[in-house]
């Protein structure tokens, strides 16, 4: 596949960023993400680490320059670090960056190994600094473990970005404190609008907080200046004069950013979703397990470029609204 053409969709967008889920399982049960009694995939349906590695190499051959490992929670997968090490060997040889999104609960045990394997920065999902509220939101009393993991990441030299989902009436008043705390730790901070993926126990409109309103409040507290900083993802960044840190905003509902989309998502079962907000998919597991996996993967990626939509159609604008898609974020890959 080394002579295969780069991935470019029908809207002339070059696809250079792969978000690769290694598991749908998670050791938290965040209320906006999944139900308490979540049904996870049978392990037999999940790609082996060897299959994930060979698939990732195929993507790199087609021009993918950045891979983010996701879940669920990627670090709950057994022997996950072996995949990180294998992909890390491609850094400087087709791959520019290998990163990870994690909830941080397992990070204390893996931070130094991640750094040794070539990971230079990670995203850590954290929606509150209050232990009681954390336990209520995630349905697990794991904030101390997350804090231990963040300390280990800093000690290992990993750059950290804190990802916080903005939730009306849940962490709305705490957002300035989270941002100030993150910047005080030399972490970047990014705020994210809640996305309508999968059925959960509560109505998402009760907790949907438009980031335009959040930014208006932050503008009254601090001096925010638009930044030219880019990471290859969808966030728009601002420098905060008073904290000396960087703030990102991800606005899938109030500020569509699809025109610059450079991403594909692959689930742990090998389903390639051309758009987080769409059902367009290609079965890469079938390709990888075919008699001619290299050619079939090549053909499947070509199909993905033809079906990738121009934009998503997320909306949270009325009570009782069904989720945009039945699948949960943990299944798709965060």
| Within a domain: 7 | no
| Within a domain: 1 | no
| Within a domain: 10 | no
| Within a domain: 8 | no
198 labelled binding-site residue: no
Residue 91: both structure tokens together: 């850094």
301 labelled binding-site residue: no
32 labelled binding-site residue: yes
140 labelled binding-site residue: no
- DSSP one-letter code for 10: T
Entry pTM: 0.87
18 labelled binding-site residue: no
138 labelled binding-site residue: no
Residue identified by tokens 């992909």 is 87
30 labelled binding-site residue: yes
121 labelled binding-site residue: no
330 labelled binding-site residue: no
1 labelled binding-site residue: no
19 labelled binding-site residue: yes
Question: Domain span at residue 114?
Answer: 17-332
| Within a domain: 5 | no
How many structural domains does the chain have? 1
Q: Quick one: angle between helices 49-61 and 293-307, nearest 10?
A: 60
264 labelled binding-site residue: yes
161 labelled binding-site residue: yes
38 labelled binding-site residue: no
260 labelled binding-site residue: no
Predicted confidence at residue 321, as pLDDT, reads 44
- Asked if residue 258 lies in contact with residue 292, where contact means CB atoms within 8 angstroms, the answer is no
68 labelled binding-site residue: yes
What is the domain-level CATH number for residue 216?
A: 3.20.20.70
263 labelled binding-site residue: yes
Distance CA 299, CA 91 (A): 25
Q: Find out whether the peptide bond into 181 is cis, omega within 30 degrees of 0.
A: no
Predicted confidence at residue 198, as pLDDT, reads 42
Q: List strands edge to edge, sheet with 66-70.
A: 224-226, 236-240, 245-250, 188-193, 159-166, 121-125, 97-102, 66-70, 17-21, 263-266, 271-273, 281-283
pLDDT in tens, the chain (334 residues): 445 799 999 999 999 999 999 998 898 887 777 666 676 778 888 999 999 999 999 999 999 999 999 998 999 998 999 999 999 999 999 999 999 999 999 999 999 999 999 999 999 999 999 999 999 999 999 999 999 999 999 999 999 999 999 998 889 999 999 999 999 999 999 999 886 544 444 555 677 888 999 999 999 999 999 998 887 677 899 999 999 999 999 886 665 666 778 899 999 999 999 887 677 899 999 999 999 999 999 999 999 999 998 866 654 444 444 444 444 454 555 5
């Amino acid at each position: 596949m080394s002579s295969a053409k780069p991935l470019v969709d029908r809207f002339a967008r070059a696809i250079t960023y792969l978000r690769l889920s290694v598991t749908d399982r998670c050791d938290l049960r965040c209320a906006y993400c999944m139900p308490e009694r979540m049904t996870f995939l049978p392990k037999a349906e999940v790609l082996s680490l060897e299959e994930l590695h060979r698939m990732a190499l195929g993507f790199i051959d087609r021009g993918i320059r950045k891979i983010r490992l996701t879940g669920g929670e990627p670090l709950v997968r057994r022997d996950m670090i072996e995949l990180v090490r294998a992909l890390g060997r491609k850094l400087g040889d087709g791959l520019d960056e290998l990163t990870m999104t994690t909830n941080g609960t397992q990070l204390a045990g893996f931070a130094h190994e991640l750094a040794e394997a070539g990971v230079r920065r990670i995203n850590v999902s954290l929606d509150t600094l209050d232990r009681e509220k954390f336990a209520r939101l995630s349905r697990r009393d794991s904030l101390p473990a997350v804090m231990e993991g963040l300390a280990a990441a800093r000690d290992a030299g990993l750059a950290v970005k804190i990802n916080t989902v903005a939730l009306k009436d849940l962490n709305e008043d705490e957002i300035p404190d989270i941002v100030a705390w993150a910047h005080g730790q030399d972490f970047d901070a990014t705020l994210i609008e809640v996305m309508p993926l999968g059925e959960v126990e509560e109505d998402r409109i009760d907790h949907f907080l438009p980031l335009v309103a959040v930014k208006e409040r932050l503008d009254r507290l601090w001096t925010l200046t638009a930044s030219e900083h880019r990471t290859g993802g969808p966030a728009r960044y601002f420098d905060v004069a008073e904290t000396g840190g960087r703030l990102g905003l991800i606005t899938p509902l109030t500020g569509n950013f699809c025109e610059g989309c450079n991403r594909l998502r692959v689930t742990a079962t090998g389903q390639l979703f051309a758009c987080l907000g769409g059902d367009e998919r290609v079965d890469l597991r079938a390709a990888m397990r075919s008699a001619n996996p290299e050619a079939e993967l090549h053909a499947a990626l070509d199909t993905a470029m033809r079906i990738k939509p121009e934009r998503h159609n997320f909306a949270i604008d009325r009570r009782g609204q069904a989720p945009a898609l039945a699948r949960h974020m943990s299944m798709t890959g965060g």
